[in-house]
Structure 1
Amino acid sequence: HRLGKIDIECEYCEALKWKGEKLGLCCMNSEVILALLLAPPPAIYKLLTEKDPISKLLFVKQAIAYNQVFAFISIGEPPQFPQIYFYDPTNIKAQIDRRYKIMKEKLNKDMLKEIQEELMEFNPFVNTYIQAGNVQA
């Protein structure tokens, strides 16, 4: 079964739908007002819209792994990634090396670095973890 392109736009909230989807279900025909999504940080946007097919394929194909390696919680798993912020929050190279090693060297180090730097700059939860690590030290 093929869904085709997801190119039907809701007239109320601009959600994209497939041809067979019921219109208005996303926002209940404008009864639910949703805030527009903010644009992702520049490096994340670049990874998502990369023109180079090899780079884009590397990121998209392993998106779940990249999501896991930067997750703040580990549901049903022993914690491993959030603690990285406790060790030395200013040493990005050490953080990337640790994430790279945990993921058995399957991810691209340059992409890990780009994402790590974006998180340090734009994600408010990173600072919360860094502060918690400083208090704990």
Structure 2
Amino acid sequence: MAARRAYEEPHNLGRMDVVCIHCGALHWRDEATGKPKDGFPAFGSCCNHGKVALLELPEPPPQLKQLLVAADTQATEFHSHITQYNAALAFTSLGVNNDKAINQQGQSGWVFQIQGYLYHLSGALTAPEGRAPSYSQLYIFDPAIAFRQRMHRNSDLRGDTMQTLQDMLLQLHPYTAKYRQAYEILADQDAEIQDVAVHLRVMSGQDKHRYNLPTADKVAFVLPGNGEGGLDGCPRVPEGWAPLSRISDRHPTYATLYYVLLFPRGEHGWYEDLRLNDPSRANPGRLTQSRYYAYRIFPRATKF
């Protein structure tokens, strides 16, 4: 009834407070598709009229939520540098050809303009001799060493905030343990063998009518081998060489390995086997990537 009242009351025309009856997403009144049915507005852009049904993501861990909602100096600094904190703690790096010339033309405001594609890159599990570790390599080291390395590269950030976020990810993000496990597997291999790789593979068995977030142990495992046929490789590093593997955006870890402050518990993202929620059809259609992220982006009053 709240959705119906918000739709019918004229003073709400300029407010984004009309609720989708299927998924609870907040809309402006004029986003409704067609005439209301039984007095309730219908919306398609959030959940395709109920055909997209995803489990909601959990609330942020308390230590992260405090930084997001507080009004003190620590939280203010975190808000101003949140992208830098995320990059310092990410497992993967951002691959992009940033066209910086546009910011040299004297226009107001800063513009992030790219040429070609934006993608994520995964490096080897260990850094070449003489090169400092970075990204996922830091999760293999002693946390104190990793913290010093992160602060050395980000000396303008607060140490207490970095320590809080690093401890949080070490405790909650499942891939911190999986990368250490991968490193241990490679360390057990013959040092003269250079073609050993470790791959993250998604195991089948998820509910195809509804995207249920499985536990980490049911999603990925590490596999030594020559890397043929895998999605993403973490190769051992030949001397003096540091390869980078491009991660497919079809892999469910694509987002969680880079946007660690959005998915601090290692929540998985879209992948090709997800299906629409349509009980009336024996074989519901595939849930597209754009539909998946549209659902995730919409705000909902009952969710953080």
TM-score by length of 2: 0.38
Conserved? CA contact 1:8–1:18, under 8 Å: yes
Supply the distance in 1 between the matched residues of 2:15 and 2:144 (Cα, whole angstroms): 40
Q: What amino acid sits opposite 1:42 in the alignment? A: P
Cα drift, residue 121 of structure 1 = 0.9
Pair 1:72 & 2:72 matched:
no
Counting only pairs closer than 5 Å after superposition, residues 1-137 of structure 1 correspond to structure 2 as: 7-17=17-27, 21=31, 23-52=43-72, 54-76=73-95, 79=123, 80-88=134-142, 92-103=143-154, 105-137=155-187
Cα drift, residue 41 of structure 1 = 1.5
Aligned-residue Cα RMSD (Å) equals 2.5
Q: Percent identity?
A: 31
Conserved? CA contact 1:7–1:18, under 8 Å: yes
Gaps of 5+ in 2: 1-13, 33-42, 96-120, 124-133, 188-304
Q: What amino acid sits opposite 1:13 in the alignment? A: C
Supply the distance in 1 between the matched residues of 2:25 and 2:90 (Cα, whole angstroms): 27
Supply the distance in 2 between the matched residues of 1:57 and 1:6 (Cα, whole angstroms): 27
TM-score by length of 1: 0.78
Higher strand share: 2
Conserved? CA contact 1:86–1:132, under 8 Å: no
Supply the distance in 1 between the matched residues of 2:171 and 2:64 (Cα, whole angstroms): 12
Supply the distance in 1 between the matched residues of 2:170 and 2:122 (Cα, whole angstroms): 23
Higher helix share: 1
Question: What's the secondary structure of 1:83's corresponding residue?
Answer: helix
Cα drift, residue 124 of structure 1 = 0.4
Taking CA–CA contacts closer than 8 Å with sequence separation of 6 or more, which of the two structures ends up with the larger relative contact order?
2
1:52-72 per-residue CA deviation (whole Å, 9 max, x = no partner) reads: 2x2222111111111111111
Supply the distance in 1 between the matched residues of 2:31 and 2:75 (Cα, whole angstroms): 28
Gaps of 5+ in 1: none
Supply the distance in 2 between the matched residues of 1:84 and 1:128 (Cα, whole angstroms): 13
Question: What's the secondary structure of 2:46's corresponding residue?
Answer: coil
